[in-house]
Amino acid sequence: MRKTVIAMFVLLVFFTLETFHLIQWYNANVWALIVFSFGLIVHIYVFKRGVREHDAFLLLPAAIALWMGVFSLLLLHGGTMYVLAFTIGLFEWWLFSKEQWLETPLLFCFGCSVVASLEEGHMLLVLFVLTIGMGAYAYHTKRERANAH
């Protein structure tokens, strides 16, 4: 645990120095990997502890960081990757927190993701987003049926 804290502190200092141009070193793949690793670390931390309903909101920024890193490494830049990463983050938050009020923003972001993917011409992203949407719908209907009985 101590090594992880030290590594995160060193990365934060390095990122701050680069942000304020005190050091001049930039490689897009390295920064995408750093963002991905931050998202992955938070996911591992949350899932290792066990996802508590009141801690599930941590999955929103973690999923955004994780998927922004993945999409940057896959060279899928543009407005599509931001909306899609946010949609996946909302989906994880909704899935593990069981908050009913998150359904409306999730469906709105899901629709925006599909529209943005179609506009950018990334059919793979559309299929990916549709898969997430179908999974969310299946989970929701399964839960509704379980509550009805």
Asked whether the predicted pLDDT for residue 43 surpasses 80, the reply is: yes
Tokens of 26: 């930039």
Span 125-139, mean pLDDT?
A: 74
pLDDT of residue 25: 66
Which residue has tokens 């030290």? 6
The pLDDT tens digits of the residues spanning 99-118 come to 888 878 888 888 887 777 77
pLDDT of residue 27: 67
> Of the given ranges (13-27, 42-56, 61-75, 131-145), which has the lowest mean pLDDT?
13-27
Asked whether the predicted pLDDT for residue 133 surpasses 70, the reply is: yes
Tokens of 11: 């990365």
User: What is the Cα 102 distance to its own chain's centre?
Assistant: 15
pTM of the model: 0.65
Backbone angles phi, psi at 74, to 5 degrees: -85, 5
What is the rounded CA–CA span in Å between residue 19 and residue 42? Answer: 22
Residue 139 CB partners (closer than 8 Å, separation 6+): 95
C-beta atoms surrounding 102 within 10 Å = 18
